[in-house]
Amino acid sequence: MKRVAVLGGGPAGSFAAERLARAGLETILLDEKLAWEKPCGGGITYKAYQQYPFLMHNDTPKKVVTTTSIAAPKAGAVDMPLSQPLLIYSRYDLNRMLLNRAEQAGAKIEKTRVTGVERGGQGWRLHTRNGSLDADFCVVATGARNPLRNVGTEYRAADTMVALGYYVPCERDHIDIQFLPKLEGYIWVFPRCGHLSVGICGKGEPASSLRARLEQYMREKSICFKGAPFYGHVLPSLETPGWKSNRVAGDGWLAVGDAGGLVDPITGEGLYYAMRSGDLASQVVLDEAHSLADKAQLYRSLLERDFAADLAFGATLAKRVFLGRFLFNTVPEQMVRFIRRSPRFSSLMQDLFAGTQPYLGLKSRLWTNLNGTLTETIMNFFLHKLIPGENHV
C-alpha cells in the first residue's frame, strides 16, 4: 500500500488522515469545503475526550458545561449536574483543529469535490473537480449526504432523522434538553462561545413541522431567532435492519463516521464515533498482517466489538425511549420524574450523558443496585418495560 485517499475532511476523515500520515503512509485528504460550520450541536462527551485527551487540552475555543436541564411536557424540568462536563465546540473551530493536526502529521490536504470513484485492478482512480488521481485504498468520510453511490451506508428514509436549528447570538452556561409530545427526537439548546446552537431532531416528521415546533419552543423561552442563521442537515439514525445490512466496508474501501451510519440512534452523538471509526479504520489500513481482501472483515469486527453492537442495541430501544408509555405517562415524563426522585437514576442518566454507560448493561446495572425504595421498585418495572430483551445479572 503506497497511497491512501481520504474522501472528506470532517472529524472522521481528518482523524483517520492524521493517524495514517503519522504512521508514515502517503495520505491525501480531499474535501470540498475544508473547515466549515457543519450543522451540529458540537457537543463532545467525556467518553470522547477521555479516549482522545487533546480534545480537552488545546487552545481551540470551547465551552465546558457542567449542568443540564431536562424537560418533558407534563413533568416540567429538572436540573441535572453533569458528573463529567460536556465540551461544546463550534464546528468550524473543531474541524479546523482536526485538519491542522492531520496536516502537521504529514497528510496532504486538497480543497476539491470528489465527483466519482472507479475501481481498477487493485487500486482506485478518483475524479475530482481539479482532475483525477490514483490511490491504493480509500477511506470514505463524506458524511451523511455522501454523494458516492457505490461506497458507504445505503440509507433508507427510516435510517435518518431531520435535524435543523438556529445559531443564536447569546451567552449561557447550561444545556437544555426538551422532549415533545409524539416526537421521536428532541430539542437541544447548546451553549457555545458567543452563541447558542438551538436545534431539533426528529424521525418521520417533515422538516417544516419540526421547524414550527422549534420556533414555538424558542418563542416560549424568549430565544429570539429573527435574523439568526438557520441550519439543517441529515442525522444518521439507523434502525435494526439498517445496522444488520450496514455497508460499512468493501473491496479497497472503509467508511468512517456518518458515511458509515456510525451515530448513536438515540442521542444523535456522532463526533466520538466519527473519530473512533477513523482511528479504527487507520489501524486496519496500517495492519500488515491482513491482506487487502481481509481488511473489510477486520474493520467490521473491530467496529462491532468497539461500539457498533452497543449502538445497534440502542436502536432497539429508540422508539420506546421517545414514544413509549408507562403508568399513564410517556417515558420521557417518567425519566424526568425519576431523575428528580432517585439519585441512582440521576447518576445513571449522568453516565449516559458522559457516554460511560453502554446501552447493553443498562438494565442490569440498576437491577443489581436497587435498595428497595418504592421509587426504585417502580423504576425497576419501568426499565423492564423499556428494555425487555436484556437479561438480569
Ligand X SMILES: Cc1cc2nc3c(=O)[nH]c(=O)nc-3n(C[C@H](O)[C@H](O)[C@H](O)COP(=O)(O)OP(=O)(O)OC[C@H]3O[C@@H](n4cnc5c(N)ncnc54)[C@H](O)[C@@H]3O)c2cc1C
Q: Where do contacts with ligand X occur on this chain (CB under 6 A)?
A: 8-13, 30-33, 38-43, 113-114, 141-143, 147, 163, 199, 233, 235, 257-259, 263, 268-272, 274
**85 or 257: CB nearest ligand X:** 257
- Considering the complex, state which of residue 114 and residue 349 has its C-beta at the smaller distance from ligand X: 114
Q: Report the residue number, 123 or 268, with the smaller CB distance to ligand X.
A: 268
CA distances from 289 to 23, 25, 102, 294 (A): 16, 16, 25, 10
* 239 vs 390, beta carbon nearer ligand X: 239
Q: Which is nearer to ligand X, 142 or 282 (CB)?
A: 142
- Least distance in angstroms from the C-beta of 117 to ligand X: 9
Q: Min. distance of Cβ 19 from ligand X in angstroms?
A: 14
Q: Which is nearer to ligand X, 14 or 342 (CB)?
A: 14
